[in-house]
Amino acid sequence: MITVPAQPFPHSFDPAHVALLCIDFQRDFVEPGGFGESLGNDVSRLRTAVGPTRAVLAAFRERGWPVIHTREGHRPDLTDLFPAKRDRGNPSLRIGEEGPMGRLLVRGSKGHDIVPELAPLPGEVVVDKPGKGSFYATDLETVLRARSITSLVVTGVTTEVCVQSTVREANDRGFEALILSDCTGSYFPEFHESALAMFAAQGAIVGWVATSTDLLGAIDSSPVPAKDM
């Protein structure tokens, strides 16, 4: 077992049953000209999560532990886009309209891609999802159960939207989630802090919160599996 200093108390996971979840690190949320900016957000606020997530990604890849990426987006014909989602807010561009990085939140467009720093490697699962939660209308639960994964290390954007929906869905399905505070980010710093506090409140009602430094320190001080030696 690996034990990580965390809020509200240390979190232990079995490295044979853990996966790293990288939620929606897409250009559409992180880079100018995408969906996030179309909603009036300052996308530069999300950049801080990329570097620390890269380090955690490298540690998982080095050990051969599973990595799963998610992307929020829709079919090019938008048949999986509810009007209730399409018409929300007052964006300068709507989902499916042409922006500087192609059609917003549409699969296959440049903006829908994961940022190059965190791009999936061949063999890593990529889950495409039409909603905010990563379990809704996807096969994520099947992928996790097929590999006997019970613990998730969670990174991604944004903390109070897709990360929060996903960890709540995971919690209700019996998965344990360790959310990394510096590997998640929000357009609203106060929502980032509130969401993290909500996860850990009431004795880890949704999950545990730690920094990537604490996780990497705990991983580094545990023995490397024989196959990697």
Q: Which residues bind ligand TIU (CB under 6 A)?
A: 24, 29, 39, 72, 132, 157-158, 161-162, 187
Out of 22, 132, 162, 183, the active site residue is: 162
How many other β-carbons are positioned within 10 Å of the β-carbon of residue 18? 20
Toward ligand TIU, which CB reaches closer, 29 or 175? 29
Q: Rounded to an integer, what distance in angstroms lies between the CA atom of residue 209 and that of residue 178?
A: 6
Nearest to 197 by CA among 207, 212, 187: 207
Q: Which CB, 49 or 215, lies closer to ligand TIU?
A: 49
Distance from CA of residue 14 to its chain's centroid? Answer: 20
Distance (Å, whole) CA 31 – CA 28: 6
- How far the first Cα of the chain sits from its last, in Å, is 19
228 is catalytic: no
Whichever of 11 and 192 has its CB closer to ligand TIU, that residue is 192
131 three-state secondary structure: coil
28 included as an active-site residue: no
* Distance in Å, CB of 105 to ligand TIU, minimum: 8
* Shortest Cβ 74–ligand TIU spacing (Å): 12
Q: CB-wise, 32 or 64, nearer to ligand TIU?
A: 32
* Min separation Cβ 161 and ligand TIU, Å: 3
Q: What is the DSSP string of 189-200?
A: HHHHHHHHHHHH
227 is catalytic: no
Could you give the residue numbers annotated as active site?
A: 24, 129, 162
